[in-house]
Amino acid sequence: MKSNEQSALPSDVYLSFVSSLYEYRQTLLIGMLSHVVTFMLVLAKTDDFFYLACAASIVLIWFIRSIGMRQFDRENLAALDFRGIRRWENRYNAGAVCATVTLGTACGYAILVSRDPFAELACISVTLATMVSLVGRNYGSARAVVVMSLSACAPIIIGLLALMDGFMALLALLMVPFILTTWSMARGVRETLHKNVLAAREISTIAGRFDLALNNMPHGLFMLDADNRILVANRRACELLNLGDQAHVKDCHLDTVLRYGVRHTFLEQDQAKQVLKQLDHLMKGMQSRALIPFSDDLFLEFSASRRADGGVVLIFEDVTARVRAEKKILQMVRFDTLTGLPNRDYFSELVSNALADRKSTGHAGFMILDVAEFKHVNDTRGHIVGDRLLCAISERLKNVTGDRAVAARLMGDEFVLFFPGETNRRDLEERIRTVHAQMRGSYLASGFTFNILMSAGYVIADSTDFRLEDMQVKADLALFESKSRDKGSCTAFEAEMDAHYLDRQKLKADLREALETDGLSVAYQPMFVSDGSRIECCEALARWTHRERGPVSPIVFIQLAEEIGVVSDITHFMLRQACRDCLTWPKHIAVSVNLSILDLRNSEIVSIVTDILSETGLDPSRLHLEVTESCLMEEAAKVRSILQELRACGITIAIDDFGTGYSSLSYLDALPLDIIKIDRSFVRNIREDARRFKLLRGMVNLSRELGLKIVIEGVETNDQLALINEYKCADLVQGYVFAAPMPSVAIESLSDTLLKKIVVPKRRNRRVVQAF
C-alpha cells in the first residue's frame, strides 16, 4: 500500500489503522526505559552530559505522548471525520519522530564526537532495536514508518560517511536496504490489516444480516452439537418455548431446556420424555416431521437436518392455528353442523371401530328414530324453530344414550343409534325400548312446547354377523311398520318384513309397468244436486287391477307411486283420460281431477293441462281441478300463482277434504277457489252429534259469504241427506247415498235415466246405482 493511499481509505478502516498506533502502550514504556538506561550507561562510561540530555529528552517525549494517548482514549471516535482521524495520526507521528530523532542524534554524536566504542555500540544497538520494533508498532501509519526510519537512520549514515573510511561508507550504504526492508514489512503488515479489517467488516455485516434474519424468521431454530447441546437458538425458539433470553440457553442440553426451561417449567417430566423420544426419532431420520403437542394451546411441528460434524439443526413452527383449523374441518366433515351428532359416514366409522374393538361376542342393536309429524312443526312454526327442536332432541339423545350407545343424525328428522355388544338379548331389547320411551315427551324450543312422538324401528343381531348396511335396511323396514301401524310406536324387525319389503318392491315395479302399458283405469263418482235429480260433475278416481292380485287399493298404489316418483305420471294419465271420457257425457256434466303436491311444485302443470285440453277439445269450463290442503301448505305463494294461471284459463278450482288441515280458513280468501269440498269427517254422525253439525253449518255459511260453491263428500245415508237438505248445506252432494264410483259409460247411462225420470225413490236409486 502506497503512502498516499491513506487518504483513499474508508474512514472506519483508516480509524482502525490510527487506533492501532495508540495500542500496546506498555511497549512505549519499555522502550523509554531501555533508551534511558542505555544513555545513562554511556554517560557513566564517557562522562559526557550530552547523553544525560538525551535521556531527559526521551523521558519528556514519553510523558507528552502518554498525555496524548489518554486524550485519545477520551475522544468520541464514532464522531470523528477523516480530518479528525488525520489530526490524531499527526499528533502520534510528531511524538514518535521526536523520539527517533533523539536516538539518531545520539548515534551520530557517538560516531563523530564521542568516538567511544561503547557509546557507539550502545547507541546504534538501541536505535536499530527500535527500528526492528517500528514495524510491529507503527505499521498503521505509512508516514510514521518512513519519517521515523529516516530520522533514526540518517544520522548514523551521515556519521559513518563523515569518517571518510571506505568500510564505514560501505556500512552506511548497507543501512539503505535495512530502511527499505522496514518500509516493505510495514506496508505488508498494513495491507494484511487492511484486508482483515475489510473482511471483519464484511463478516460483521453478514453476521448482522444473519442474526437479523435468524431472529426475525417465523420459525424457531436450535442448532445442536453432537451431544445435543444448544449452540445457537433464535429469538422465535425462545418465545415459542418460553425460555427467556437466548444467551441463557446457549450450551444447555436440549433435555434440560425441555424439562425445566430457563425461567420456569412448562413441561411435565413425562411430557418431556415423550417429546425427547419423538425428537430423537426425528433426528435419527426415522421420520421427516414430528407434530408435538406441548399443551392444548401450543402445537409445534419439527423438522431436522443433520450437520457434517454430527450435530443437528432443529427447525420448528407454531402450527396451533393449522391444527385447530384441521380439527374444525374434521369436525365439519364428521359431525352434523346443526345437532353436533356424528353424521352418516362418521357413524359408520364409529360402528366399525366398536365392532373391531369388541372383546367378546354378544348381541348388537341398531335403531332408527323418526320424529312423528315433524313437518307440521316446520310448516306452522318455521324452519328455525324446527332446527332448534332438532337440537333439543339431539341433546336429550346424547344424555339418554351417554357412552352406552353411538348416536348420529341420519338425515332430516331421523336419528340412528348403535348399541354395542350385550350378552343378553332381552336386556339389549329392554335398553332399546327404554331409550325410545325416554325420547318421547315434551320439548321446549324457542319458547314453544312440543309434545313429540318418536316412531322407531330396530334390529338385534349377533355382533359377529352385524353388517351395518343390512341392519339399516331391516331397521328401515321395522320403522315403516311402526309408521303404518301406529305413529310413535317402536317395532322390532321380523323375518316376515323382508318378504313384505320384497313384495312391496315387486308391486312398485308392477305399478311402473302398468303406467307404461296403460294398465290403470279410471272410475268416476258423480256429484249430484242436493235432491239427486241431476249430475253436475264426476270426480275421476284412479283404479289399478293387478294381473295376479286383482284390484289394488288406491291408498296402497298412490303411496307406492309417491315413493317411486310417478305420481305426476298418474296425474297426466288421469287428466287425459278424464277429458276424453267427459266428451262422451252430456255437456252439462263436468269432470274433476285431483292434483298432487308434486304437480303443483312445477309450473309446467299449467302447460300440461292446457295442452291436454287442446288435444282433447274439452271446454276448460268442464274441467275441475281439486287440490288438498297439504298442497296449499307447501310453497303457498308458488301454488297460488299456478292456481291463478289455471283459473285464468277458465278451469274451476276446488279445495278437497276441506277442514282436515291445520289452517283451513286462511286459504278461503287467499287462494283463487271456486268450490269447497267439505270432508266426509264432518258428515259422520251429524244427526247424533249436534256440535259437529253446527261446525258443518258454520263452514257452509262462511263459504257462501265468500261466494264459493259447496260440495259435501261422504254422504252415505238418507238421514244424513235429509238433514243436509233441510238446512240447505250443500250445492252438490257426493257419496254412496246416490252412487258409488263407476265406469265412464255408466255415467252417461245414469244421466239419461235421471233425465227420463225426474223423481226417483232414493232407496231404490241407491240399489240400482250401486250395481255399477
- Reduced to 3 states (helix: H, G, I; strand: E, B; else coil), residue 523 is strand
Determine the straight-line distance between the first and last CA of the chain, rounded to whole angstroms: 133
CA distance 472 to 141: 98
CA distance 277 to 383: 53
With 0-12 CB in 10 A as exposed, 13-18 as middle and 19+ as buried, what is 339? buried
Which grid coordinates are listed for 376? 307440521
CA 652 to chain CA centroid, Å, is 55
- Bridging pattern class, strands 230-233 and 220-224: antiparallel
Beta bridge partners of 415: 369, 409
Residue 537 is predicted with a pLDDT of: 96
The residues, any chain, with a CB within 8 Å of residue 643's CB and separated by 6 or more, are 600, 627, 653, 671, 672, 673
CA distance 304 to 377: 59
pTM of full prediction above 0.85 = no
- Bridging pattern class, strands 363-371 and 550-552: unpaired
Numbers of helices and strands, H then E, in the chain = 29, 21
Residue 259 is predicted with a pLDDT of: 65
Over the chain, what is the mean pLDDT? 84
CA 64 to chain CA centroid, Å, is 78
Task: Provide the H-helix boundaries in 163-253.
Answer: 166-216, 235-240, 246-249
CA distance 718 to 723: 9
Residue 343 is predicted with a pLDDT of: 87
Output the DSSP codes for 293-355: EEETTEEEEEEEEE-TTS-EEEEEEE-HHHHHHHHHHHHHHHB-TTT-SB-HHHHHHHHHHHH
Backbone angles phi, psi at 482, to 5 degrees: -60, -45
CA distance 328 to 321: 10
CA distance 275 to 302: 11
Nearest to 366 by CA among 300, 465, 284: 465
User: Does residue 306 contact residue 312 with C-beta atoms inside 8 Å?
Assistant: yes
- Bridging pattern class, strands 709-713 and 675-678: parallel
What single DSSP character describes residue 230?
A: E
Residue 252 is predicted with a pLDDT of: 83
Side chain identity at residue 405, one-letter code: A
User: Does residue 617 contact residue 585 with C-beta atoms inside 8 Å?
Assistant: no
Q: Which residues of the chain have pLDDT under 70?
A: 1-9, 135-140, 194, 207, 259-270, 272, 359-360, 421-422, 632-635, 661-667, 757-772
Torsional class of 711: left (φ above 0), alpha (ψ -120 to 50), beta (otherwise): beta
CA distance 531 to 534: 8
312-318: strand order across its sheet = 230-233, 220-224, 312-318, 298-306, 289-295
User: Does residue 693 contact residue 723 with C-beta atoms inside 8 Å?
Assistant: yes
Task: Provide the H-helix boundaries in 550-689.
Answer: 554-564, 567-582, 597-600, 604-616, 629-633, 636-648, 665-670
Which value, to the nearest 10 degrees, does the dihedral of the CA atoms of residues 571, 574, 579, 585 take? -150
Q: How far is CA 585 from CA 277, 418, 532, 612, 624, in A?
A: 94, 61, 18, 18, 15
Determine which helix (DSSP H) or strand (DSSP E) holds 391, and give its type and residue range.
helix 383-401
